[in-house]
Structure 1
């Protein structure tokens, strides 16, 4: 048995150590390219989104969880009142827009708004409409290239270095719109351009990883994202999260039910019915509560046993003394008389208050005096004392 306990204790200790090690073991780094503003992993955009109020001081920054068409239409409804030109920012691995969304974006920019698009790959329809093409570089041979800006005041800055696989996408321009190359790699290939469209502009970047947490937090690379976004005017900012997280509530498996009132009510009724079933079924099948009997009063049985014990040992003196003590306590409690001296005055008071005939009270007091003074108490004397006491109690309780 001791050996078994020793092995059980050892296994329990090993299990506890395993749990502690697993709990405190560093979690592996998630290198997925989510570009989401809620992710703090290397290729999320939590840091950049947090810095946007500093890059666009005094302007509201909004995380957009609506499709492009809905977001732009909501803004257009305010055109006559509080609507202002905005910067609409997209940072994704791939930017996909359908025909309706493309038309909406073109009208939106033509009205004087700016759209910033950064991705590895762009929708063919978007490339055709704006006259650019995103390709892999064919010039670069080295393992890494630097990113530079073309503005004269920024050319003195040192190139921001990135691994070549991250900057291999370049932009080839063939647009009928006014186009300006804002940034390129050290091989002279464009990767950041501005395409003027109507009253606004599209800002196209083929290096979206430059805007993720990994590069924004890297001291030698952190300035690239800030400088790139500084090409946009200071105005309200929309940050698109619809293409990464979807609409608000879209992650819920019950979104189809909750979007329709009839299905939603059916769902709530089903949940309520299930809850009622559980409550009533649990009461119905619960274990029967046993009936607990009232505790019996065994005082009389105890007294009878003790009395028999004294009587069998023929110790009449002890029984007589206890009966006399109880009688005197009875007189004190019921008639409030001192029982130190059993004289004629006490007898008269007991006769008045109890209603017992004087003869019987006198006989009882005489028997008590006899019991207290005699040396040898016989059984007959004990019986006489008991009869006198019982007679007194019976008459006094009427």
Structure 2
């Protein structure tokens, strides 16, 4: 008992050391592109969100966890004149999805004087068709520099990024008026303003420039601030709905727990499952396994070996194996010696098996041919196999 306790104590100490080492071991860097204001990983947007109060001084900054329609309607209900107060609605995503209803709401929202800033790798097709723009790829090169077209910003040196991070450009068709606010050093536009009613859509195709990794960079960090400086100083809505979903969406039991009856049913099911585990955990008799009687798998084994040799195209070896098996078959079933494959043996085999003597003679002729030849063609192996299969089939049916 004492040795057992020492053994258990040693295991406990080893487990504790393992847990402590795993807990304090540096975690690998997560390079997932979340663009979320709660993530401090390289491609999260925590730093930019914290800087928004400085970029828009004396203006409230709100993290939005509602769909576009709900957010705009909720803001309208807080105002007596039923008009949306002008704000800057910011979207920074890998993919920005806007359905038909959201797009209609955004258009009305911007037409009343608000601004919508969207930076994304991919835009929904409805948004592109309505505003008349599309995304293309810049020519492949090692890196691209980003510049702004505003006269006061032209003197700034291009901010360089790896090509794969800023390789998308925005092309606006001639039917829609757009102002190019930013380009890359290859000449492609990546930041445009499309006026709509009293407000504007600001579209950017370089969302990674607004993530933590680049915002805290000593050189690249100024790009995000300069891009957002094109927007007027107004209250800011920062969209998190397309990244985190609505509040409470992270819980898979949110529907059950939001209704009292379903919640009690859920708790009752958990309690019943716990009772079942407790009572069924008692030791029960082990089920007696069913032992199958041995099977004779000799024929299956021979077929497997034959197929193995056939894959190597060694026809003569395959034929010799089949002949040896055939002679063993004659010894076991007809009690005949197969040392001399003469005419007398053939006659006795034909008599005992009931197979015509001509077929038996042809089979023995093929066996003699295989044994005397140095190389064997596939056609000869096929003929031998055909004769053997015919012999077995007729012999077992009599």
Fold similarity call, TM over 0.5: yes
In structure 2, the CA distance between the partners of 1:15 and 1:255, relative to structure 1 (3 Å rule), is closer
- In the other structure, the counterpart of 1:228 is 227
Asked if the contact 1:91–1:117 (Cα under 8 Å) also holds between the matched residues in 2, the reply is yes
Q: Output the CA distance in 1 between the equivalents of 2:156 and 2:122.
A: 28
Asked if the contact 2:256–2:263 (Cα under 8 Å) also holds between the matched residues in 1, the reply is no
Deviations 1:239-296 (A, max 9, x none): 111111111111222222345xxxx121344467689999xxxxxxxxxxxxxxxxxx
SS in 1 for 2:71: helix
Deviations 1:355-388 (A, max 9, x none): xxxxxxxxxxxxxxxxxxxxxxxxxxxxxxxxxx
Q: Output the CA distance in 2 between the equivalents of 1:9 and 1:274.
A: 38
Question: How is 1:14-163 mapped onto 2 (pairs within 5 angstroms)?
Answer: 14-77=14-77, 78=79, 80=81, 83-137=84-138, 139-140=139-140, 142-163=141-162
- In the other structure, the counterpart of 2:249 is 250
Give the deviation of 1:103 after TM superposition. 1.2
- In the other structure, the counterpart of 1:265 is 260
Q: Output the CA distance in 1 between the equivalents of 2:17 and 2:4.
A: 20
- In the other structure, the counterpart of 2:178 is 179
Compute the TM-score of the two structures, normalised by the length of structure 1.
Answer: 0.63
Q: Output the CA distance in 2 between the equivalents of 1:275 and 1:22.
A: 32
Asked if the contact 1:96–1:122 (Cα under 8 Å) also holds between the matched residues in 2, the reply is yes
Q: Output the CA distance in 2 between the equivalents of 1:99 and 1:83.
A: 20
Q: Output the CA distance in 2 between the equivalents of 1:244 and 1:50.
A: 17
Q: Output the CA distance in 2 between the equivalents of 1:275 and 1:200.
A: 54
Q: Output the CA distance in 2 between the equivalents of 1:193 and 1:274.
A: 56
Q: Output the CA distance in 2 between the equivalents of 1:112 and 1:253.
A: 39
Give the deviation of 1:135 after TM superposition. 1.3
Q: Output the CA distance in 1 between the equivalents of 2:270 and 2:3.
A: 49
Q: Output the CA distance in 1 between the equivalents of 2:163 and 2:226.
A: 21
Asked if the contact 1:130–1:175 (Cα under 8 Å) also holds between the matched residues in 2, the reply is no
Single out whichever of 110-119 and 13-22 deviates more from structure 2.
Answer: 13-22
Q: Output the CA distance in 2 between the equivalents of 1:109 and 1:103.
A: 10
Compute the TM-score of the two structures, normalised by the length of structure 2.
Answer: 0.63
Query: RMSD value over aligned CA atoms?
Result: 2.9
Q: Output the CA distance in 2 between the equivalents of 1:161 and 1:171.
A: 18
Deviations 1:24-71 (A, max 9, x none): 211001111111111111111111111111111111111111111111
In structure 2, the CA distance between the partners of 1:21 and 1:131, relative to structure 1 (3 Å rule), is same
- In the other structure, the counterpart of 1:297 is none
SS in 1 for 2:169: strand
Q: Output the CA distance in 2 between the equivalents of 1:272 and 1:204.
A: 49
Give the deviation of 1:177 after TM superposition. 3.3
Where does the alignment leave 5 or more consecutive residues of structure 1 unmatched? Answer: 279-398
In structure 2, the CA distance between the partners of 1:276 and 1:144, relative to structure 1 (3 Å rule), is closer
Deviations 1:73-98 (A, max 9, x none): 22233261785200100000011111
SS in 1 for 2:202: strand
Asked if the contact 2:89–2:117 (Cα under 8 Å) also holds between the matched residues in 1, the reply is yes
Give the deviation of 1:130 after TM superposition. 0.7
Asked if the contact 1:89–1:237 (Cα under 8 Å) also holds between the matched residues in 2, the reply is yes
Q: Output the CA distance in 1 between the equivalents of 2:269 and 2:170.
A: 59
Question: How is 1:360-375 mapped onto 2 (pairs within 5 angstroms)?
Answer: none
Question: How is 1:301-340 mapped onto 2 (pairs within 5 angstroms)?
Answer: none
Asked if the contact 1:177–1:197 (Cα under 8 Å) also holds between the matched residues in 2, the reply is no
Q: Output the CA distance in 1 between the equivalents of 2:131 and 2:83.
A: 30
In structure 2, the CA distance between the partners of 1:93 and 1:248, relative to structure 1 (3 Å rule), is same
In structure 2, the CA distance between the partners of 1:69 and 1:83, relative to structure 1 (3 Å rule), is closer
SS in 1 for 2:58: coil
